[in-house]
Amino acid sequence: MSSLKTLEGDLIARDLRVAIVAARFNDFVVERLVTGAIDALVRHGASEKSLELVRVPGAFDMPLIVKRLALSKRYDAIVALGAVIKGETAHFDFVAGECAAGIARAAQESGVPVGFGVLTCDTLDQAIDRAGGKAGNKGAEAALAALEMVNLLKRLDA
């Protein structure tokens, strides 16, 4: 273990206001991500009253809404949840690419952490594995990453 002074965010969600933005596309998978994210936040001290769920049509549509929410000053963090599953066309690359880049921009430009829980998978089976199956729940992981980032930013500002 290094003895360097280390700054990191803890995983305490008490009193934090969090918006969860969830895509309706592939809702069978996305609902599992939503459940995982809520469960993770509540188990780390969030009150369900301080969580809000915002539905959008699909992953491509997320960045605009994430940015609007981030700039509203009503949330400490946002968790973006969706599932882009590769089909036979190049649509996948555009949807997944724009979603990821737009969400990253929204976080960087607003200063509000956004946990990125948008799956990009080759198959539905892979998506199910990552939405509470054998590869964990990426919705829960995104929620905890957002939480850690909020607390890290607070620590850097203190």
Residues marked as catalytic: 91
> What residue type is assigned to position 63 of the chain?
P
Shortest Å, Cβ 87 to ligand INI: 6
Binding of residue 116 to ligand INI (CB under 6 A): no
Decide whether 137 or 151 has the Cβ nearer to ligand INI. Answer: 137
Q: How far is CA 147 from the centre of its chain?
A: 10
Instruction: Yes or no: say if 4 and 110 are a contact pair by the CB < 8 Å rule.
Output: no
Q: Which two tokens stand for residue 8?
A: 């990191």
Among 7, 9, 8, 6, which residue's Cα sits nearest to residue 151? 9
Nearer to ligand INI (CB atom), residue 60 or residue 75: 60
The Cα 17–Cα 129 span in angstroms is: 29
26 binds ligand INI (CB under 6 A): yes
- How far apart, in whole angstroms, are the C-alpha atoms of residue 47 and residue 156? 25
The answer to whether 33 and 131 are in contact (CB under 8 A) is yes
Among 36, 82, 102, 132, binds ligand INI (CB under 6 A): 82
- Contacting residue, 16, 23, 79, 106, with ligand INI by CB under 6 A: 23
Q: Is 75 in the site for ligand INI (CB under 6 A)?
A: no
In angstroms, what CA-CA distances link 105 with 18, 42, 70, 72, 144? 18, 27, 11, 16, 20
Instruction: Choose between 57 and 136: whose C-beta lies nearer to ligand INI.
Output: 57
Distance in Å, CB of 118 to ligand INI, minimum: 8
Residue nearest to ligand INI according to CB distances in the complex: 58
Contact residues toward ligand INI (CB under 6 A) are 23, 25-26, 57-61, 82-85, 87, 91-92, 95
